[in-house]
Amino acid sequence: MGTTPANEWTEHALRTLADAGYRSSEPRQTVIETMAGQGCSVTAREIADVVRDEGSHIGLASIYRTLDLLDRTGLAQRFEVGEGSARYEPAYPTGEHHHHIVCDSCGDVVPFEDEALEQAIERLAGRVDFAVNAHDVTLHGECPACSAPPRR
Amino acid sequence: MGTTPANEWTEHALRTLADAGYRSSEPRQTVIETMAGQGCSVTAREIADVVRDEGSHIGLASIYRTLDLLDRTGLAQRFEVGEGSARYEPAYPTGEHHHHIVCDSCGDVVPFEDEALEQAIERLAGRVDFAVNAHDVTLHGECPACSAPPRR
DNA sequence: GTGAATGCAAACTCTTTGCATGACT
DNA sequence: AGTCATGCAAAGAGTTTGCATTCAC
């Protein structure tokens, strides 16, 4: 396996933080690697659980502090899908990104991309009097499994 | 002043709840009227504050219960813009709705509508394998006041 | 060595829940 | 009268913060 987007983001994030004068501690590296390792978005607790399952341990507070740092430096994007806890995911320097569909029955979150949607938002952003620098789109509904007829 | 959309929603909501067998209590009516009275979206605490300023009082728990009821019955829509607390706003039976731009500096929330955006989402919804029945779009940025050069 | 980052625990905020009281139908 | 809804207070969940210790530079 060669260079994946996740690997690239990990390195980009570590380098960016180092360049900005932040120290490279093991907890920070682990949080970043764990985020990259998850397919899509993660919550603070999910990171803690994954790390614990790998035999290590990072205090929840440190995870929150790292996530906050990543968000503030633009290395990650924070968003919520309405289930109480914040989700974070890597933000690629290319601006490339996706959005999410949430199953309101089982809580499943799956990503999607849509160029037409991005264009509509871009045009809109140019028309409003806010300086728009990010956007969230979340679709709500039921996943195929949940909208299937009840099992018996 | 005649019939406004807000008035209509208030009546629609009260009637719908009554028809569904829910009791018409004063707290519920007040919450609904207060929601209608606010321009856009509200938080539970905002409702409590407005009600208190008008000389009445409703327990926070009842406000939350009413908001939850409105959300479950489709009379209101719940969403979050990332400032910790949930916001609710009237959902019109016509399906007419808007989205929000949030100023990440001062927390100001302003509504917008965009037909092209709605169309893009509608087309997208038809293409995914989820049964999509709602969507949130939130733009983040800085409002004109906050992006202005710092005052001196 | 010095200042920044961690970990723990306490504090906070938002929201939900249990239970007795009061109100709508 | 019989329920359903309210209000209060306590409980929960997620997140932030204070502070002593540890670690990176």
Kindly report the backbone phi and psi dihedral angles of residue A151, in degrees, each rounded to the nearest multiple of 5, phi listed first. Answer: -70, 155
pLDDT given at position A81: 87
pTM over 0.75: yes
pLDDT given at position A141: 92
Name the residue with higher pLDDT: B132 or A5.
B132
- A136 neighbourhood in chain B, CB within 8 Å: 136-138, 140
Say whether B80 and A78 touch across the interface (CB within 8 A): no
| Mean pLDDT computed over every residue of chain A | 92
Residue showing tokens 């409590």: B48
To probe the interface with B, which of A137, A142, A147 has the most B CB atoms within 10 Å?
Answer: A137
Whether residue B47 is predicted with pLDDT greater than 70 in this model: the reply is: yes
Cα distances (angstroms) measured from residue A130 to each of A100, A147, B113: 24, 39, 14
A61 touches strand C (CB under 7 A): yes
Which of A77, A120, A82, A85 is CA-nearest to residue A102?
Answer: A82
Number of C-alpha atoms within 13 angstroms, CB side, residue A90? 24
Q: Cβ neighbours of residue A80 under 8 Å, at least 6 residues apart?
A: A86, A87, B80, B82
pLDDT given at position A149: 63
Distance A1 CA to C15 C1' (A): 46
| Mean pLDDT computed over every residue of chain B | 92
Average of per-residue pLDDT across B128-136: 93
DSSP state of A138: E
Name the residue with higher pLDDT: B105 or A131.
A131
Kindly report the backbone phi and psi dihedral angles of residue A131, in degrees, each rounded to the nearest multiple of 5, phi listed first. Answer: -90, 95
On whether the CB atoms of residues A10 and A38 are closer than 8 A, the answer is no
pLDDT given at position B2: 66
pLDDT given at position B144: 94
pLDDT given at position A5: 72
- Chain B residue with minimal CA distance to A129? B144
Residues of chain A with pLDDT under 70: 1-2, 149-152
pLDDT given at position A98: 93
Kindly report the backbone phi and psi dihedral angles of residue A98, in degrees, each rounded to the nearest multiple of 5, phi listed first. Answer: -140, 180
Q: Could you give the angle at which helices B5-19 and B26-37 cross, rounded to 10 degrees?
A: 150
Confidence of residue B9 (pLDDT cuts 50, 70, 90): very high
pLDDT given at position A102: 92
